[in-house]
Amino acid sequence: MMRFVQKSLSRKILTILTVSLVIPISIIIYLSASFQARNMIKEMTVFGNELAHAMYAGIRYPMSVGDSAAVSKQLLDMREKLQDVDVYVTDYAQQIVYGTRSELIGKTVDNEIYNQDYWRKIQESFRAVGETQITFEEKIGPNRFLTTVQLLPNQVDCHHCHGATQDILGSMVVRTPTNHTYQVIRTQTGRVVLLGLVGTCIVIFLIYTMLTNHVTTPVNRLGADMKNLPERIAAGDYLAPEPSGREDEVGHLERSFGEMANDLLEKRAVIERTNRELTTINRELEAFAYSVSHDLRAPLRNIDGFSKILLDDYQEKLDETGRHYLNRVRSGATKMSQLIDDILSFSRASRTEINPRVIDANSLVNEALRDFSETIKARDINVRVKDLPNINCDPNMIRTVFSNLISNAIKYSRDVERAELLIDYDETNKAIRFKDNGVGFDIKYQEKIFQVFQRLHLPEEYEGTGIGLAIVKRMIERHQGSIWAESEPGKGATFYVRLPVA
C-alpha cells in the first residue's frame, strides 16, 4: 500500500484528501444522525407526556363522579384520532379498567404487556410514589414502543368512592409505537450518509482535479521533458518547451528547467564547434607531420648514402677518430630513418581505409611470426600458438598489430635464458593473448606505453622508437576493439587483444 502511494504525487494527493476529508465527514455524519435520533425520541416523549396529561385531565372528572360511560367514550374518541396509540386505565392491581381496545378490559397489564422492564418500572413507581409520570422505551418482539405511565393519585374528590387510605389508585398507560419513527430515522440517516458520501466524493474529485491540473501534470510534463535530456540534446531532437508564464513554484521550476536546457544546448553547440575545430587542426597536424617526415627522407638518404661512400672509398684518408665519427653519423642516420618510417606508419594507421573480412587469426599470427623466424631459431625461443578464432578485420592492419606485439615479446625477453612466447585465446576475456616471459614492466605505466614515443626502457638496453604500441592501439580502436596489458617487472608481460570475433 505504502509502495503504491509513494510511487506518484497524484496518489499521495488522493490519499491525503481521502483521509483528511472522509474521517471528519464520517464523524460529522455519525454525530448528526445520532443527534437527530435522540431529538426525535425526545419529541415523542414530550408528545407522550402531553397526551397522558391531556387524557388524564379529560377523564379525571368523569372518573371522580363514577361516569364510566363518559370515560370509555373519551378513550374511544382518542382511538379514532390516534389509531395506533394505546391508552389504558388500570386499578391498583394493574387490572385494565378502561382502554382504547375494549377487548383488553379486565385483563392485567402484565398479561397484556410481556415486557419485564415495564412491569418492574410500574411496580417501582407504585411503591415510591415519588414520580407521578415515567416514560420509557420498550421492545416487544419486532415492535418498539414509547410508553408513558401516569400514576393516578388518590385525591380528595376520590375519597367518597376509594376511601383515604391509599395514595395511589391506579395508573394510566399511554403506549405509542415507535417502529415507524425508527424507520424514518434510519431512512434519514441513510440519506445523510449517502449525500455525505456523494458530497465528499465530489469535493475530493474537484480538489484532486485542481491539484493535478496545477501541480502534478506540469511536474510530470517537466519530468518527461527532463528524461534523457542530455541524450536528446545530443541527438538534436530537443526543443525547449513554451513557458507557461506561471508565477508559482511550478513556474519557477519550469523557468529553471528551461534555462538549464538552453544552457545545455549552448554548451553542446560550443562543444560541437570545438570538436570540429580540433578535428580540423588534428588532421592538419597529422598531414604536416606526414609531409615533414616524408620530406626528411630524401636528405636523410643523402646523408646515409654519402657517409657510406665516404666510409667505403675514403677509408685510408681518414684516421681512426674520423672513421668513428663517420660510423656514428651512419648509425644516427639509420635510427632516424627507422623513426621516420615509424612516424609514417603511425600516420598511415589513422588514414588508411579499413577493408575488413573474416579471417583465421592463426594464419595472421603465423604470417607475422615468419618475419622473426631467424631470431626465433637463433635464440631457440619456445613459441606456441594455440587455437585462435576467426576474426573480422582488415588483415594487413591486424598482421601489423600481431607483428608489433611479437616483436616486443621477442625484444623484451632477450635477456632471459630460454625465452617463451604463448599466443592463445582467453575465453574469459574474449581476447587473443600474447604472453612472454621477458623483463616485463610496472603495470602502473600501462596507459603510457600506448602513447607515441613513450618507452619504459632505455635505448641503450633495448632499442626502439616508442611508436609500436601507439600504432597497435590506433589500429585496434579503428576496429572497435580494445587492448590492455598485465605485467610485473621481471615476470614477463601479457597483452590482450579483443577484436570482433566472426
Ligand X SMILES: Nc1ncnc2c1ncn2[C@@H]1O[C@H](COP(=O)(O)OP(=O)(O)O)[C@@H](O)[C@H]1O
Grid cell 677518430 in the structure block, residue: 321
Q: Which does 97 bind (CB under 5 to 8 A by kind): ligand X, Mg ion, none?
A: none
Put the strands of the sheet holding 96-99 in their side by side order: 96-99, 86-91, 168-177, 143-153, 133-140
Interface with ligand X, residue 464, by CB under 6 A: yes
Query: CB–CB of 88/109 below 8 Å?
Result: yes
Interface with Mg ion, residue 468, by CB under 5 A: yes
The string of DSSP letters for 370-432 reads HTTHHHHHHHT-EEEE----EEEE-HHHHHHHHHHHHHHHHHTTTTSSS-EEEEEEETTTTEE
Query: Looking at beta carbons, which residue is closest to ligand X?
Result: 464
Q: How far is C-alpha 295 from the geometric centre of its chain's CA atoms?
A: 64
Site for Mg ion in 227-266 (CB under 5 A): none
Interface with ligand X, residue 439, by CB under 6 A: yes
Least Å distance, CB 501 to ligand X, is 24
481 in helix, strand or coil?
coil
Q: Which does 145 bind (CB under 5 to 8 A by kind): ligand X, Mg ion, none?
A: none
The C-alpha cell that represents 64 in the structure block: 371522580
Interface with ligand X, residue 456, by CB under 6 A: yes
Query: CB–CB of 453/442 below 8 Å?
Result: no
DSSP H or E run through 360: strand 357-360
Interface with ligand X, residue 409, by CB under 6 A: yes
Classify the C-alpha dihedral 43-47-53-56 as positive or negative: negative
Least Å distance, CB 262 to Mg ion, is 50
Which lies closer to Mg ion via its Cβ, residue 238 or residue 450? 450
Least Å distance, CB 287 to ligand X, is 23
**According to CB under 5 A, which one of 408, 413, 437, 487 is a site residue for Mg ion?**
408
The string of DSSP letters for 5-33 reads HHT-HHHHHHHHHHHHHHHHHHHHHHHHH
Interface with ligand X, residue 493, by CB under 6 A: yes
Interface with ligand X, residue 381, by CB under 6 A: no
Q: Is 101 exposed, middle or buried (0-12, 13-18, 19+ CB in 10 A)?
A: middle
Q: Which does 439 bind (CB under 5 to 8 A by kind): Mg ion, ligand X, none?
A: ligand X
Least Å distance, CB 496 to ligand X, is 12
Interface with Mg ion, residue 94, by CB under 5 A: no
**According to CB under 6 A, which one of 438, 475, 481, 483 is a site residue for ligand X?**
438
Q: How far apart are CA 359 and CA 327, in angstroms?
A: 45
Q: How far apart are CA 303 and CA 151, in angstroms?
A: 149
Which lies closer to ligand X via its Cβ, residue 90 or residue 465? 465
Least Å distance, CB 268 to Mg ion, is 40
Which lies closer to ligand X via its Cβ, residue 295 or residue 463? 463
Q: How many residues bind ligand X (CB under 6 A)?
A: 20
Of 73-81, 342-350, 404-412, 481-489: span binding Mg ion (CB under 5 A): 404-412
What would the x/- binding string for ligand X be over residues 295 to 334, using CB under 6 A?
Answer: ----------------------------------------
Which lies closer to ligand X via its Cβ, residue 216 or residue 408? 408
Grid cell 371522580 in the structure block, residue: 64
Least Å distance, CB 328 to ligand X, is 21
Which lies closer to ligand X via its Cβ, residue 18 or residue 451? 451
Alpha-carbon separation of residue 499 from 104, 429, 430, 477, 494 (angstroms)? 113, 11, 9, 9, 16
Q: Is 53 exposed, middle or buried (0-12, 13-18, 19+ CB in 10 A)?
A: middle
Q: Which does 218 bind (CB under 5 to 8 A by kind): Mg ion, ligand X, none?
A: none
For the chain, state the CA radius of gyration. Answer: 57
Question: CA 362, 363, 366 angle in degrees (round to 5)?
Answer: 85
Which lies closer to Mg ion via its Cβ, residue 113 or residue 349? 349
What would the x/- binding string for ligand X be over residues 417 to 436, using CB under 6 A?
Answer: -------------------x
**According to CB under 6 A, which one of 100, 125, 216, 408 is a site residue for ligand X?**
408
Residues that bind ligand X (CB under 6 A): 408-409, 412, 436, 438-441, 449, 455-457, 464-470, 493
Question: Footprint of Mg ion on this chain (CB under 5 A)?
Answer: 408, 468
